[in-house]
Chain A
Amino acid sequence: MTIFFRNLVQNNVKIILTRNSDSQLFTVSYRNLSILPSVYDGKEDPAPKFFSSNVQVLLRRLTRPDFAKVFRKRTNSGRDVLKTPSYKFLTDEELEAEIAKANKRADRLLQMPPIVKIHQPINEILSEDPALIGYDNVKYLFTDITFGVANAHRIIVERDPDGILRSSDHDIRKRLNQTYFPIKGRKLREPIMFTDKDRLNSLLESEKYEFVLDRACIQYEPDEPSYQKITSITYQHIDMNKNYDMLRSTRHFGPMAFYITWHQSIDNLMLELLQTSAVREAVLLTALRHEIHGDLANGEQVQALVHQILPTPIQLSKPDRLTEEDIELDNKCVECIEKYIVGNSAMKSQQELALQGFREYYQQMIELSRGLKKAHGNA
């Protein structure tokens, strides 16, 4: 047995063991991807936390929306001709109005797919009539197609060959809703990229995360187990390969951040933030953790800091000059992160190293901007 296991280890180039919140081990081998999906099926419902305004604000800010990416050209599907951009001269007021419009459109594009608990099966028997046994040897499905009823509230019942009239289960409901009220882009049969593990795997290996997540959003309802399985596999793949940047400025970053925070595995993301010297976002991430789990020692301090960070503009790239307020805020952030690393991190040495690197870089930046100020003579 041990020999077999050793062989297994040698065969797979790399085996990473990561600790999950449910103290369940999942193995990842690079030869053939085997991530165990985890769905929101525990006792606790993630929806109230996900929809709370504090968490929404944090997730939106962590998305780091860059309008150049939010409004990038995608495919021309559904459009015959791509529109050529138009250039206009605008007054200040008109420009402000246009920017407000663009912000609204970005909000729409960045609307996060909801995170909810998986649904319970429907087992509602409406009537039993043994005298109907033998009426037919197939099921009858009855759909109420009354105008203006939402898909979720539509009456769909089935009469089984044994005479029982019952409410249909979710898969049948979904199929019939799609039959009578088709949703554009959703297929009646599950696309093969979701059913075939190898194909999903190859998509993930070629880093087509957004395509997978977008399509999963159309194909499934957010409370379906298959949706949550596919998204969880994708999120874990992103987390392992640190491809966070591919999801930034898309609507999927928030749910991913929520997912990894919910499952207590934010260390990789935290390390990435520290390495790219985004300390403010690192503080926001700790605040997110505190909102969801409430397990930080310096929780109140973090929350106070979040209120200072949120009004500041989003840093899409490293700033080339620092004001005194910036320096003060960033120093507070560094202190906060230090406490977090000591108290709650599972990747202490690496994160401390990254933080130390940031400190050195930041010291240089401070000296540079103070020197520049002095040289300009307004110190």
Chain B
Amino acid sequence: MLPPASGTGKFYAKAAKSIRLIRQGCTNRPFFHISVTHRKRLNSQPVIEQLGSYDPMPNVHNEKLVALNLERIKYWLGKGAHVSPPVAELFGLAGFFPIHPRSYMNAWRNRKTTQENIAKQMEEEKAKETANL
């Protein structure tokens, strides 16, 4: 029988743990569990415990849903679990951790590209106008 995705509850006490996103979903439909697992284990291997979920595809209301079992997350952090960067970013957005530097980086990069795009559009319009004249 396959081990449950919600975790087996079995772990080595002294082994390093990590809280990470485990892709569940299917082809073209990503969905992630936030789980704690041994740091040396692959994402395809059984996890210790599921701590939440993250749906990266916006729903009809244009929202991304994240569920966090804060009590268990605190427990595993207390046990010295390592947090992977994508999870740390989510925790930061949730106000549970400080905002991850990568979030800021993505934010200003996105702002920059939108500004560039706007500038490009303006230029194109100007070029069109001059061509028409």
Contact = CB atoms under 8 A, between A and B. Distances in A.
Interface string B48-86: 000010000010011111111111100000000000000
B103 A138 contact: no
B131 interface: no
A138 B63 contact: yes
Nearest to A127: B95
Interface of A: 126-127, 129, 131-136, 138-147, 155, 157-159, 163, 165, 176, 179-180
Contact of A147 (B58, B68, B71, B114): B71
30 contacts: A131-B107, A134-B107, A134-B108, A134-B111, A134-B114, A135-B107, A136-B64, A138-B58, A140-B63, A140-B93, A141-B63, A141-B66, A142-B66, A142-B67, A142-B93, A144-B69, A145-B69, A146-B69, A146-B70, A146-B71, A147-B69, A147-B71, A157-B94, A158-B63, A159-B93, A159-B95, A163-B107, A165-B95, A176-B65, A180-B67
Contacts of A179: 65
A249 B70 CA distance: 45
Interface size class of B (residues with CB under 8 A): 20 to 34
A139 B108 contact: no
Interface of B: 52, 58, 61-72, 90, 93-95, 99, 103-104, 106-108, 110-111, 114
B63 A139 contact: yes
Classify the secondary structure of A's interface with B. Answer: mixed
Contacts, number: 82
Contact of A132 (B62, B66, B103): B103
Which 3 A-B pairs give the minimum distances between C-beta atoms?
A134-B111, A135-B107, A142-B94
A143 B67 contact: yes
Contact of A143 (B68, B95, B106, B114): B68
Contacts of A141: 63-66
A213 B66 CA distance: 34
Contacts of A145: 52, 67-69
B70 A144 contact: yes
Contacts of B66: 140-143
A131 B107 CA distance: 7
A131 B104 contact: yes
A144 B68 contact: yes
A127 B97 CA distance: 13
